[in-house]
Amino acid sequence: MWIVAVIAICVAVVAASVAVIVVKVAGSPPSVTLEPASSPGPNPFTASVASGPTVNVAGNALAESGALRKTLPSDQRTHTLVATGTSPGLYGGSGDVHVCDPQKLVVFLTQHQGKAAAWSGVLGIAPKDIAGYVATLTPVLLTSDTLVGNHGFQGGVATSELSVLQAGTAVMVDATGTPRVKCNCGNPLTPPELITLSKANTRGTAWPGYTPAAVTAVRPGPATATLTLVDVGTGQTYEQSTASGAGLWVAAERPNISGTPTPEQTTIVTSGDGRLWSPAGVIPFGHVQALAWGNGTWIAAVPVGNGTLSSILLESTDLRTWTPVMTLPDTILGVAYGNGRWTAVGNLASGPVSAVVWGSTDGVHWVRVASSSDGNTVFTHQLSSVAYGNGQWIAVGISQGSSVAGLKTFTSSDGISWAANGGIINGATGPGIAYGAGQWTITAITNTETSSQSASGQRVVVGVSMDGRSWVAKPIVGVSGADNEGDVAYGNGKWLAAAGVQETTAGGTSDGSIFFGSGDAKTWSPMVHVAQYVDALAFGGASSVSGTTETSPSSTATTSSGTSTSTNPPTSPSSPAGANIGATFAGTWGAHQSGLVINKAGTGDLHYLDISLCPSCSSFANAPWSTLVFVLTSLAQGVATGNVTATSDPKIYAMGATVHVSLTAGSPGQILNVVIGGRLSLLCNSTSVGQCGA
């Protein structure tokens, strides 16, 4: 029996050895499976997690893909086309992220631990990390027949084969643009071994138009926060976030309170459907006038100061913690990201036509690139909103110095050189602009009443354009009494707009804002009425949106030329109380309506003209003085933090209110930023006289 057993073992070993030798015979052609977009293929890991039926890629989108393929290099050995995963236009979509259901995949794998172990093993992650990993993937559509390493499940283990997936197949890609999941079967995907497809043994039936020479293999590109996708219905391009949590509507709300002065602040709220909104963070000074998402970062613009306004630009990756990165000497009313750069538009500090454009490649360092004061005769309107789409920037301007209101659009291919070849929408003001689903949309309000309008006055109007030049504008039916500007954004396959309105119901009249939704930007329906005013609206991503965190200023600088540079100090640990916390800020500071003395120990004595104590006073000059004392208790990253310890008018500055103090560079000298209970004050010393109204 022992001899028989040994013989059996030897035979088995020889057989196994022979099997290996057969697989590796020189010249044996490789095998590849052709998988149509509608087919899950052999040995699927899961039921389909694709959303809806197979999407047909339109001819003009296929043409865009064909043009891209002509620019791709081919592997010298196999002659297979090789694309970088982050190449603009490599993948397609329909303007939203709903071609796959990532959560359905996570739920299935959570309920099938054996498959979860095999699935995660293919991608080199632990089973416990599947949910977090899937959350980083972006659903897209292939626009070219694509070679992949395809891993099914059979006999309790993951299988491996080369497959060509037909254009139109829904997959999920990572931040490098590498396909990682085939949605209609849940299979994990990996970069393929390159083979000569024309000589391969093929399994499956070729679809019309299939040719090995047009098949593309994808190699990882540099990690990116946005992918430039082709709309498979129109052939036009748009930006899609790759960030975890992509698919959020984000709005900037300010309080709608009259009477007693209240701290100026903005609450950042988020929604997945445009109806239910939740607070995510607070910017405790000023009202956000512009909000945008791009390259993994949110940018918000907050005008500050009295009379002539400058603007603080803040950035956030989670919507909770906001960090000031730049102070621009102009009023910024619109911000957008596209084609690898940021563009901000607004008003100059002075000038008969005060249009200005700023640009940045990283959201931190900004340069004024165009304005109506540098000999530029293009801008005939002040700029109030901007967006990017289909290879061009469009900014919207409001007429100035005219009794007839109206909007005009300006275009640019690079965000730097602008042309006045856009269209005009007469009788409207307060615009917001966005691009999506192959069209441009402007929302605005009329500023004159017509016979068709109700007695409550202004109405919300929507302008739609396919090229950004010819516009068709119509009012939103059934909505009147618009009394505050709003904004518009596109995402998740739909349009969302917000406008301040005065709404009359059975319970009386109430101010606030209404969110409107639309699938085509032509027919709109009210979503929800909120009591606050919505000044900015955007669509994008965030890694986390739970909880709120108060913002504290960091150091920014504005040069005399108008170009800003960051002066944020390196990260340092917080200093304990009593460690000369006030030394950096010690001295006498002032503005037109206030004065402040800070000592080296961090105690500050502020006196300010308090017009709230004198209702009959016609100006601050006649108002009485109020005082407060604060004590700074910690210092981190150039920002000192403390609390109010004494106050003569708690209605303005409450006892215990949080205090943040930081420095920015002036032109020349230094400017002190003081935020007390959410109120921002800019104060100057002897090095910066005249820049704070002092």
Tens digits of residue pLDDT in 256-272: 655 444 456 788 988 87
Going by DSSP bridges, is the β-strand pair 226-231/91-93 parallel, antiparallel, or unpaired? Answer: parallel
Question: What angle do helix axes 113-123 and 102-111 make, rounded to 10 degrees?
Answer: 120
Omega cis (within 30) before 650:
no
Which amino acid is it at 133?
A: Y
Query: Would 558 be classed as within a structural domain?
Result: no
CA–CA gap between residue 666 and residue 433 (Å, rounded): 33
Q: Are 348 and 374 in contact (CB under 8 A)?
A: no
Q: Are 181 and 100 in contact (CB under 8 A)?
A: yes
Q: In terms of pLDDT, which residue wins out, 309 or 410?
A: 410
Q: In terms of pLDDT, which residue wins out, 433 or 318?
A: 433
Q: Are 513 and 534 in contact (CB under 8 A)?
A: yes
Q: Are 448 and 405 in contact (CB under 8 A)?
A: yes
Domain identity same for 215 and 269: no
Mean pLDDT of 227-243: 76
Burial 168-194 (b: 16+ CB within 10 A, else e): bbbbbbbbbbbbbbbbbbbbbbbbbeb
Residue that terminates a domain, selected from 241, 268, 303: 241
Domain identity same for 359 and 503: yes
Domain identity same for 194 and 219: yes
Query: Would 5 be classed as within a structural domain?
Result: no
Q: Which domain holds residue 204?
A: 28-241
Strand 482-491's sheet: what is its strand order? 482-491, 494-505, 508-518, 525-530
pLDDT in tens, 116-152: 999 999 998 888 888 778 878 888 899 899 999 999 9
Residue that terminates a domain, selected from 504, 519, 551: 551
The count of structural domains within the chain is 3
Domain identity same for 352 and 494: yes
CA–CA gap between residue 30 and residue 19 (Å, rounded): 16
Domain identity same for 643 and 521: no
Domain identity same for 87 and 159: yes
% of residues, the chain, pLDDT over 90: 29
Which amino acid is it at 272?
A: G
Query: Would 12 be classed as within a structural domain?
Result: no
Q: Are 471 and 423 in contact (CB under 8 A)?
A: yes
Query: Could you tell me the CATH number of the domain that includes residue 661?
Result: 2.40.128
**pTM for this one?**
0.56
**Per-residue pLDDT band at 571 (split at 50, 70, 90):** very low
Query: Would 4 be classed as within a structural domain?
Result: no
Domain identity same for 270 and 417: yes
Going by DSSP bridges, is the β-strand pair 81-84/216-219 parallel, antiparallel, or unpaired? Answer: parallel
Query: Would 124 be classed as within a structural domain?
Result: yes
Domain identity same for 448 and 540: yes
CA–CA gap between residue 115 and residue 126 (Å, rounded): 12
Domain identity same for 541 and 576: no
Residue that terminates a domain, selected from 213, 241, 269: 241
Q: In terms of pLDDT, which residue wins out, 568 or 658?
A: 658
Window from 143-152, 422-431, 502-511, 654-663 with minimum mean pLDDT: 502-511
% of residues, the chain, pLDDT over 70: 77
**Per-residue pLDDT band at 115 (split at 50, 70, 90):** very high
Query: Would 690 be classed as within a structural domain?
Result: no
Domain identity same for 109 and 147: yes
